[in-house]
DNA sequence: GATGAATGAGGGTTCATTCAT
DNA sequence: GATGAATGAACCCTCATTCAT
């Protein structure tokens, strides 16, 4: 066995395998057997470390939330000029969603299940207070500097920023089919990145 | 049985029950037994009319696509002033998504499965040619009138319009939890509607 | 419909389709739907003409028994020199089995079911009295002429004659695999025909 | 459950029950539920040990092939006088088929399915090389001794030997009906045994 | 004679989970 | 901490047959 009594590593391998499996097949479609096999672990160990499939799903989801928020904090948006900061957040969000498609499918799954896992999580809300405050700060500074229009709610804005990329990427299979267009080519992705940034920056601009 | 030899009605009842079931539980989580029970039909009939679960799912998806596109065409956008037309499309899209949450979950399911059903559909692409052309016409007229900026791709814009509402509504459970805010109260919904319209209209406005 | 109120033809098409289906898949594996489809008939008609699947199977079996016995009678064995007559029967039996593989699988199916259909048939035993008497006559004449050894039972001999070809052809898939040899090439079939004839004629020859 | 954590025994019980079920009802007619019940095992275990019904069928078939070939090798034919050896093989084959009717029905089933299981088997062809070589040796020695005629192919001869018993036993239900004779009485079986031996030995005898 | 629609029992298979070691 | 063996409920789907017209 790969698995020579290193509990920390075993746990980690299981979580990584589970994240990939849940991302690929959703919560309902994920198979406990496949997770165990990919983790090179005994199936019993999933239950030992994570109690049951639902709890394992929550762990995977928390792990990905923690990851995106940590990456976001590294942007250091507080110290940038407001328009630059906003541009940076838009670009980061797009890029993160593009490079971490598993995050999108995990969120879809969780919402299909009406958020019943995340509702039990203490960690997840904690992670998000800074995000809102940071964005609020950017908006306030931009408004004060006269570059952003007034009255924009940071939560609403964040949802718009995320929505721009989310819908494009999460629904890329149906969109490609209904619009008969390759959305994932290098040039299509570059164009969408430009479009997203233009949309958001124009939308908040002071008239 | 309720089922008094009216094939048209039987088929319709099955499709309606299936749409609801798929919307609620996703493709994988949907149960053929439940669909049959809700349709007050024999389980065998699902296979008689729709061959298998996948094909039933496709039929449900096609049905909802047809529905939104038909409603959209009734907006009569071609004959309106460009900004009015765009505003109307944004408001319609938001309202449709809000009133037809099943459409969102159907799309999520289909994309989780990499669009493998819609790819086999001839009907779905056909439904969407007019949408793009209509939006292209609005943009062209707005540009000519000097109210919209130039160079906006109607497909990209449509994805942004839909994305605004989609992400908010589809991910409302996780968003409510991470932002600790009720997103579905009457006032929250009204605010989001205003926000969406403001975002899109500002974003396309000529500077 | 192909099927314009010619009951005789409808019945015949169903029986032909059933014979093929039973031959290909066995009784248990045969599908009533496929039979109806291939017969270009409504499924209900199978039941109208043949009462149920078992009875349809019996009809198919009786049909094939009638066919081989009729062909056999045309050999006109009574008026031939004994060795010639026997040779002719051996060759005919081989050729018939080769050209009518459906007969072999029908028999296999019936025997898997312990002959429960044929047991109810009056027609089948009737067809076979002449066969035994003909063969008995040949043996008697051959014995009298001093070319066949004495004491051969025509029933036992017929079983040997049929067995030579039956096992080779009915089990050709497993035999080909265990002996790693193509049993169905033109040359292999020709060789088996010679072998069969040689075996039987040598076996009955007066020492 | 009887099933006290002895995997070897569990596997064996399943295989034994499956062999009987497949023999009695054929592959298509066999029921996984009945196999599990007779094996006093959970239905899930069949899939745990044998992956699916087809694979279980192959395992049963391989098991029976191994059994007959092992019994055959115990005849020690290489060291016997050619006519004695041949007689012994004929008698053994008859007796084996008589005492192991399940082998015949397994073969019938496999051939109904065009040998699609055995084709995937490595073990089965391996088991059969010695059989052919042994029979070839017997024929060669008999020819050299002047008791057998020349030019007999061991594969063809084996098929004849097996065919003698196979057709009689496998088709006993239809044969009993068409010839109106009890083929399974003690005396009938004894007579057939004599007939088989006489047929084969006379057929190969040097004229 | 002929049709499409409907039925209920059960088909093989897969599931998350737990037991004994 | 770790393992392979075992469980029973439920999954999607298919079957031969019959009903109403």
Maximum distance among all Cα pairs of chain B, rounded to whole angstroms? 65
Residues A10-35 have a mean pLDDT of 93
Find residue D148's DSSP bridge partners: D205
Q: Is the dihedral of CA A84, A87, A89, A91 positive or negative?
A: negative
For residue A93, with 0-12 CB atoms within 10 Å meaning exposed, 13-18 middle and 19 or more buried, which class applies? buried
Q: With touching defined as 3+ CB pairs under 8 A, do chains A and B touch? A: yes
Q: Closest protein residue to E11 using CA and C1' atoms?
A: D31
Find residue B205's DSSP bridge partners: B148
* Cα–Cα distances in angstroms (integers) from residue C188 to residues A154, C89, C191, D158, in the given order: 84, 20, 5, 15
Are the beta carbons of B158 and B167 closer than 8 angstroms?
Answer: no
- Where are the strands (E) in B38-196, listed by range? none
Q: With touching defined as 3+ CB pairs under 8 A, do chains B and D touch? A: no
Q: Indicate the helix (H) or strand (E) that contains D21.
A: helix D7-29
CB contact under 8 A, C159 and D173: no
Q: Which nucleotide is nearest to B45 (CA to C1')?
A: E6
Q: Closest protein residue to E7 using CA and C1' atoms?
A: B42
Q: Which nucleotide is nearest to D45 (CA to C1')?
A: F6
CB contact under 8 A, A174 and B111: yes
Check whether C94 has a pLDDT greater than 90: yes
Which residues in chain C have their CB less than 8 angstroms from residue D168's CB? 159, 163
Low-confidence ranges of chain D (pLDDT < 50): 1-3
Provide the b/e sequence for D154-170 (b: ≥16 CB within 10 Å): bbbbbbbbbbbbbbbbb
- Walking along chain B (207 residues) 10 residues at a time, the average pLDDT comes out as 68 95 94 94 93 95 96 95 98 98 96 95 91 96 97 97 98 96 97 98 94
Q: Which nucleotide is nearest to A43 (CA to C1')?
A: F3
Which residues in chain B have their CB less than 8 angstroms from residue A207's CB? 202, 205
List strand F contacts in D 32-71 (CB < 7 A): 41-45, 48
| Nucleotides, chain E, CB distance < 7 Å | 1-21
Contacting residues for D152 by C-beta, under 8 A, at least 6 apart: D139, D143, D204
Which residues in chain D have their CB less than 8 angstroms from residue C205's CB? 202, 207
CB contact under 8 A, D112 and C105: yes
pLDDT digits (tens, 9 = 90+) for B144-157: 999 999 999 999 99
CB pairs under 8 A between A and B: 157
Q: What stretches of C5-122 show up as alpha helix (H) in DSSP?
A: 7-29, 32-38, 43-50, 53-73, 82-99, 101-112
Taking the C-alpha atoms of residue D26 and residue D108, their distance in angstroms, rounded to an integer, is 8
pLDDT digits (tens, 9 = 90+) for B41-57: 999 999 999 999 999 99
CB contact under 8 A, D191 and C149: no
pLDDT digits (tens, 9 = 90+) for A138-183: 999 999 999 999 999 999 999 999 999 999 999 999 999 999 999 9
Phi, psi of A205 (to 5 degrees): -60, 145
Taking the C-alpha atoms of residue C57 and residue C49, their distance in angstroms, rounded to an integer, is 12
Distance from CA of C1 to the nearest CA of D (A): 33
Residues A85-112 have a mean pLDDT of 97
CA of D5 to C1' of E21 (A): 9
Confidence of residue A3 (pLDDT cuts 50, 70, 90): very low
Residues A117-138 have a mean pLDDT of 92
Q: Indicate the helix (H) or strand (E) that contains C183.
A: none
- Where are the strands (E) in chain B, listed by range? none
Contacting residues for D73 by C-beta, under 8 A, at least 6 apart: D130
**Three-class DSSP category at D67:** helix
pLDDT score at B80: 96
CA of D103 to C1' of E11 (A): 25
**Three-class DSSP category at B180:** coil
What one-character DSSP code corresponds to residue A39? T
User: Which of C105, C111, C168 comes nearest D170 by C-beta?
Assistant: C111
pLDDT score at B2: 43
Contacting residues for C158 by C-beta, under 8 A, at least 6 apart: C131, C132, C135
Estimate to the nearest angstrom the gap between the alpha carbon of C101 and the chain centroid: 8
Query: Model pTM?
Result: 0.90
Whose tokens are 């044929």? That residue is C118
CB contact under 8 A, C171 and D168: no
pLDDT score at D4: 52
Left if phi > 0, otherwise alpha if psi is -120 to 50, otherwise beta: which for B180?
A: left
Taking the C-alpha atoms of residue C160 and residue C165, their distance in angstroms, rounded to an integer, is 9
pLDDT score at C143: 97
Q: Indicate the helix (H) or strand (E) that contains A85.
A: helix A82-99
User: Which of C29, C149, C173 comes nearest D114 by C-beta?
Assistant: C173
Check whether A124 has a pLDDT greater than 60: yes
What one-character DSSP code corresponds to residue B117? T
Taking the C-alpha atoms of residue D207 and residue C171, their distance in angstroms, rounded to an integer, is 31
CB contact under 8 A, A125 and B167: no
**Domains, chain D, ordered by start:** 1-50 (1.10.10.60), 54-204 (1.10.357.10)
* Cα–Cα distances in angstroms (integers) from residue A151 to residues A145, A155, B192, B194, in the given order: 14, 12, 13, 12
Q: Which string of DSSP letters, residue by residue, matches D126-195?
A: HHHHHHHHHHHHHHHHHHHHTSB-S---HHHHHHHHHHHHHHHHHTHHHHHHHHT--SSSHHHHHHHHHH
List strand F contacts in C 129-168 (CB < 7 A): none
Are the beta carbons of D115 and C162 closer than 8 angstroms?
Answer: no
Q: Which nucleotide is nearest to B10 (CA to C1')?
A: E5
Q: Which of C117, C150, C160, C165 to mutate to test the interface with D (most CBs of D within 10 A)?
A: C160
CB contact under 8 A, A163 and B163: yes
pLDDT digits (tens, 9 = 90+) for C109-131: 999 999 999 999 989 998 998 99
Are the beta carbons of C86 and C205 closer than 8 angstroms?
Answer: no
CB contact under 8 A, C163 and D164: yes
Taking the C-alpha atoms of residue C98 and residue B197, their distance in angstroms, rounded to an integer, is 79
| Nucleotides, chain F, CB distance < 7 Å | 1-21
List strand F contacts in B 48-67 (CB < 7 A): 52-54
**CA geometry: angle at B87 spanning B85 and B91, to 5°?**
120
CB contact under 8 A, C177 and D115: yes
Taking the C-alpha atoms of residue C103 and residue C114, their distance in angstroms, rounded to an integer, is 17
């Amino acid at each position: 066995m790969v698995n020579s009594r290193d509990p920390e590593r075993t746990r980690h391998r299981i979580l990584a395998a589970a994240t990939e499996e849940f991302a690929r097949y959703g919560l309902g479609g994920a198979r406990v057997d496949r997770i165990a096999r990919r983790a090179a672990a005994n199936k019993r160990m999933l239950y030992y470390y994570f109690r049951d499939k639902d709890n394992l799903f929550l762990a995977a989801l928390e792990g990905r939330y923690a990851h995106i928020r940590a990456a976001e904090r590294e942007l250091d948006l507080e110290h940038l000029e407001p328009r630059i900061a906003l541009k940076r957040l838009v670009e980061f969000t797009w890029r993160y969603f593009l490079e971490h498609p598993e995050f999108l499918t995990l969120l879809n799954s969780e919402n299909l299940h009406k958020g019943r896992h995340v509702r039990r999580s203490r960690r997840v809300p904690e992670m998000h207070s800074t995000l809102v405050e940071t964005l609020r700060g950017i908006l306030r500074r931009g408004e004060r500097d006269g570059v952003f229009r007034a009255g924009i709610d940071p939560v609403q804005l964040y949802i718009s920023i995320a929505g721009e990329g989310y819908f494009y990427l999460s629904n890329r299979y149906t969109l490609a089919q209904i619009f008969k267009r390759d959305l994932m080519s290098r040039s299509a992705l570059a164009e969408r990145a430009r479009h997203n940034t233009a949309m958001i920056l124009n939308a908040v601009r002071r008239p």
